[in-house]
Chain A
Amino acid sequence: MGLLTILRKVKQKEKEMRLLVLGMDNAGKTSIVKRLNGDDVRDVSPTLGFSIISIKLKDYNLNFWDVGGQKTIRTYWKNYFEQTDGIIWVVDCADHSRLEGCSEELYKLLDEERLAGASLLVLANKQDLPDALSPKEVEEVLDLKGAASSVQRHWRVEGCSALNPGDESVNGNDNLRSGVEWLIEDIAARVFMYD
């Protein structure tokens, strides 16, 4: 029995998943994790370093690694790549000036060998803001089809609004929950296939 098999078995038993939440600063990473956890999202401050929140969802223990998005901190993202099952990439859809930088950072990330197997959920956040790009537009701007093709990565884009999910402009466009559910099912199909 190889180490990998043992690891897989251990994981199988606990049904743990490690999800890395990344994106530019002020994209809304912490707010998204807090909302998933049912916490108050009104007084979120910039993330200092990182924080880990464990959430139980559909029989799985999800460990969200929420790492700060500031430029200086991005250089440390690589410390968290090991054993990552899924990536949640959060985009501030109203911050047009930084979309290019956002796309560059995502490409760098997807080039990482250690993340090659990880499923990718892109969250097009801040759908409540008037000049927010739609999830479809985000998909095109980030050229996700091109980015994911080389390693046959499983990916999906969903729109959401961490702060104002009930906002009229968001309407049917808040798919935070279903996006995350897709992510864990996709990971489960890969990691826990012997269940």
Chain B
Amino acid sequence: MGGQRPWWEQIVLIAWRFMKQFVHIVTGKSEVERIVLLEHVGGVEGTRRLRHSLERSKKLDGVFKTMITGNPQTSSAVEEIKRIKALSQINEEGAQRLSTYVGNICDVTRFIQDVERLQSEPYSSENPAHEAKLEELWNLATDSRPREGGRISREWNRIGFQGKDPASDFRGGGVHALNQLLYFSSTRTGAVRQQLEDLGNAEKWHPWACTGINITSHVTSMVKDRLFDNQLYGLDRETQFQRLNEIYSDIFESFHVDWIQSNPKTVMDFPPVFKKSVEQARRQYKESSSPI
């Protein structure tokens, strides 16, 4: 993680370490110890604090890396932190909290790997489950409008696929992109139909479904950059996916507002508006995930 920080973060980091040393001397406790001994903070807040402490610590940087890559092992990471920070004498509650917080961070690492697996699962026309999801998407988005030509149809363009067969558009986003479009359409059906109606105006048209596939790609890169960690700690897998899909839906909706407000003349106005909107979202989540 180190080495790529901009200079102002370097300064903050140096000040942080200085403070840490100072507090360590006064209280006789290391930062990690203080974090896990705090009773009043909940699991999410404790995990957040521990993560930022690990991220910024020179000695614990290596342990932290094992927690956010590959196949993270909670118990060995806990032992390693205890060893480096000489925490063998810590009380039971403290040890318990340390283990929970480390476990939360490792779990998000595994969640991200699940997301990547879904993203690399290609859409297959031979898979009945995939096909059913696609049909469901069509029905939700168009209020079950009959489609001329059946499965291979020009009409897929109505909801913003490029050709006669949506399968090819899912190349990069895989089943994950379809799941997210489907989640958005089933939980916010009214908003989705309104969006598609707005895009019916030729000047405002953009390929809605393809836009969604691109949003999936951005949201996936954000979760990999650990911008959503605080929203994901301590949840079961299903709820984590749901949270991620909510974030996706929020970004999709706020992009739509930006797009309409930008008063586009053609779809060629799309790239800068989209870029700005996505960057704005990234900034927002980055701010809410940073320590101070």
Interface residues of A (CB under 8 A from B): 25-26, 42-46, 48-51, 68-73, 76, 79
Smallest CB separation, B19 vs chain A (Å): 39
User: Which A residue's beta carbon lies closest to that of B116?
Assistant: A43
Smallest CB separation, A173 vs chain B (Å): 21
CB 8 Å contact bits of B163-193 with A (1 = contact, 0 = none): 1000011011100010000000000000000
Contact B268 A46 (CB under 8 A): no
Contact B207 A50 (CB under 8 A): no
Chain B binding surface, main DSSP class: helix
Place the interface of chain B in its size category: 20 to 34
Contact B271 A48 (CB under 8 A): yes
Contact B163 A48 (CB under 8 A): no
Chain B residues lying within 8 Å of A49, measured Cβ to Cβ, are 206, 267-271, 274
Chain A residues lying within 8 Å of B172, measured Cβ to Cβ, are 42-45
Inter-chain CA distance A51–B205, complex, in Å, is 18
Of B177, B206, B213, B267, the contact of A76 (CB 8 Å cutoff): B267
Q: Identify 5 new A-B residue pairs, CB closer than 8 A, beyond the known A26-B162, A43-B172, A45-B213.
A: A45-B217, A46-B207, A49-B267, A50-B271, A73-B267
Contact A44 B171 (CB under 8 A): yes
Smallest CB separation, A65 vs chain B (Å): 11
Smallest CB separation, A64 vs chain B (Å): 14
CB 8 Å contact bits of B258-275 with A (1 = contact, 0 = none): 000000001111110010
CB 8 Å contact bits of B219-231 with A (1 = contact, 0 = none): 0100000000000
Contact B207 A26 (CB under 8 A): no
Inter-chain CA distance A113–B169, complex, in Å, is 32
Which 7 residue pairs are nearest across A and B when measured between Cβ atoms? Answer: A46-B210, A49-B270, A25-B162, A26-B168, A70-B162, A43-B172, A45-B172
Chain A residues lying within 8 Å of B270, measured Cβ to Cβ, are 48-49
Q: Is B125 an interface residue (CB 8 A)?
A: no
User: Which B residue's beta carbon lies closest to that of A44?
Assistant: B172
User: Which B residue's beta carbon lies closest to that of A70?
Assistant: B162
Inter-chain CA distance A25–B120, complex, in Å, is 20
Contact B205 A72 (CB under 8 A): yes
User: Which B residue's beta carbon lies closest to that of A49?
Assistant: B270
Known: A42-B120, A48-B207, A72-B157. A79 touches B271 (CB 8 A): no
Contact B267 A46 (CB under 8 A): no
Contact B169 A48 (CB under 8 A): no
User: Which B residue's beta carbon lies closest to that of A52?
Assistant: B271
Smallest CB separation, B219 vs chain A (Å): 12
Contact A45 B173 (CB under 8 A): yes
